[in-house]
């Protein structure tokens, strides 16, 4: 009981200071709502209580309104000196500071919990991180569309990051070649501390602005390139400097951060904010922030490949069958798309030197030269090819394929 009273007292003190701050700056439409509002109000000064307004709606409506708007300080109140002393000790700290660096009071005793309870809390944190991506979907979609338009058949996807964020970015980029046959020369990594930082921490690397500028210059970016910078804090000097340096190249810049209003977002043509909030272990952004970053990168890179025709009917038709498992998968794709049996699909794949799209047309009756010419004319996009080829031509291909299979 005594502990609960002290919590309410401290909350009332912080809220009272916050109300004073707003009232002194002419913001007078202030209300207290929520289950503890009545208890907290009794601890406020009579003057403050008299100046509170009756709320127009309940706490849920207010929370939804706040969720849809970014909190902005009154004009002119943007420097640390203008913020009152309580700014870093109470409610204002929650608003003003980087949430990813704060200790979440709910988990202050996490190390004293039972392991089962701690595991459940961390699992729930991961779920919350994935859910936070949903609010950023419009920004993610817009960034992906812009990236697809820039890349076409020559541009590179360039990943930039430091520490955990850099390793998450490299993980995404490294999968593009085996999954979508994205050319290796069209994936580029700019990581603080270089390759050695992928396995071990490199002291001071994330603060090395000169290295960021050097690596960007060495990359020789063009307007066809897409640069994706990732930093949980949104303030990492290396990553921010890289994005700013890239501006002059005309490359599409996408910034992914977990704190609002930060330099990485303001320096990007396509800012993507994922507000994952406090980590269960303060500052350990490999947890909630890192999970959300990986989801965002998955969406962007996979979305690009969707729009560039490297996926057809849910299948990765540009995949390279480099082992037995992938070869079986490729044969199943050809059989599914060309409506032939597994043996015929395997034969077509062998004739096509493992190229799934070419093998589909071979299984439908085209010869190698004709198949490659058709695919080239449609930029390798099977959906567009099947949609635009005249029905009689498709029927002719299928009929020719059936006759060829019967003659074998």
What are 239's two structure tokens?
A: 């990553």
Eight-state DSSP code of residue 315: B
Classified as helix, coil or strand, 96 is helix
Name the burial class of residue 178, with classes exposed (0-12), middle (13-18) and buried (19+) by CB atoms within 10 angstroms of its CB: middle
What is the maximum alpha-carbon separation in the chain?
97
In 3D space, the residue among 315, 276, 314, 322 whose CA is nearest the CA of residue 132 turns out to be: 276
Bridge partners (DSSP) of residue 271 are 255
Q: For the beta carbon of residue 44, count every other beta carbon within 10 angstroms.
A: 19
Cα–Cα distance for residue pair 101/99, rounded to 1 Å = 5
Measured CA to CA in angstroms, residue 403 lies from 13, 56, 94 at distances of: 85, 75, 72
In 3D space, the residue among 378, 389, 372, 370 whose CA is nearest the CA of residue 308 turns out to be: 378
Buried b (16+ CB within 10 A) or exposed e, 319-351: bbbeeeeeeeebbebbbebbebeeebbbbbbeb
Q: What is the side-by-side strand order in the sheet with 187-191?
A: 187-191, 157-161, 226-231, 252-257, 270-273
Cα–Cα distance for residue pair 353/370, rounded to 1 Å = 15
Beta strands, E only, 309-388: none
Question: Is 334:363 a contact under the CB 8 Å cutoff?
Answer: yes
* Positive/negative CA dihedral, 33, 37, 38, 41: negative
Q: For the beta carbon of residue 210, count every other beta carbon within 10 angstroms.
A: 9
Find the catalytic residue in 206, 275, 279, 331.
Answer: 206
Q: Is 206 a catalytic residue?
A: yes
Find the catalytic residue in 145, 175, 247, 372.
Answer: 175
What are 47's two structure tokens?
A: 């003057």
Catalytic residue numbers, as ranges: 175, 206
């Amino acid at each position: 009981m005594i502990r609960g009273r002290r919590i309410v007292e401290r909350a009332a003190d912080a809220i009272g200071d916050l109300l004073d701050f707003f009232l002194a700056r002419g913001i007078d439409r202030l209300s207290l709502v929520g289950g503890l509002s009545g208890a907290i109000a009794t601890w406020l000064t009579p003057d403050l209580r008299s100046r509170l307004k009756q709320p127009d709606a309940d706490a849920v409506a207010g929370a939804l309104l706040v969720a849809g708007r970014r909190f902005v300080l009154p004009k002119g109140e943007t420097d640390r000196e203008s913020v009152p002393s309580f700014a870093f000790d109470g409610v204002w700290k929650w608003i003003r500071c980087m949430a990813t660096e704060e200790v979440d009071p709910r988990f202050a005793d996490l190390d004293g919990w039972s392991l089962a309870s701690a595991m459940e809390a961390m699992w729930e944190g991961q779920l919350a991180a994935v859910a936070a991506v949903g609010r950023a979907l419009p920004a993610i979609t817009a960034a992906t569309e812009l990236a697809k338009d820039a890349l076409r058949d020559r541009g590179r996807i360039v990943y930039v990051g430091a520490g955990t964020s850099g390793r998450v970015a490299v993980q995404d980029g490294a999968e593009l070649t085996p999954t979508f046959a994205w050319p290796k020369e069209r994936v580029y990594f700019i990581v603080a501390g270089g390759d050695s930082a992928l396995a071990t921490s490199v002291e001071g690397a994330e603060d090395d602005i000169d290295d960021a500028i050097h690596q960007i210059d060495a990359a020789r970016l063009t307007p066809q390139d897409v640069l994706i910078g990732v930093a949980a804090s949104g303030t990492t000097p290396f990553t921010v400097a890289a994005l700013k340096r890239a501006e002059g190249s005309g490359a599409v810049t996408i910034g992914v951060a977990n704190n609002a209003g930060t330099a990485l977002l303001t320096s990007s043509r396509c800012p993507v904010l994922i507000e994952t909030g406090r980590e269960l272990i303060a500052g350990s952004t490999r947890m909630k922030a890192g999970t959300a970053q990986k989801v965002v990168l998955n969406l962007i890179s996979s979305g690009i490949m969707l729009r560039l025709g490297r996926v057809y009917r849910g299948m990765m038709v540009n995949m390279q069958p480099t082992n037995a498992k992938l070869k079986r998968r490729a044969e199943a794709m050809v059989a599914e798309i060309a409506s032939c049996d597994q043996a015929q699909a395997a034969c077509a794949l062998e004739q096509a030197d493992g190229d799934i799209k070419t093998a589909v047309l071979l299984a439908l009756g085209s010869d190698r030269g004709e198949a490659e010419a058709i695919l080239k004319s449609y930029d390798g996009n099977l959906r567009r090819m099947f949609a635009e080829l005249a029905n009689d031509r498709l029927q002719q291909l299928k009929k020719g394929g059936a006759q060829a299979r019967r003659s074998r």
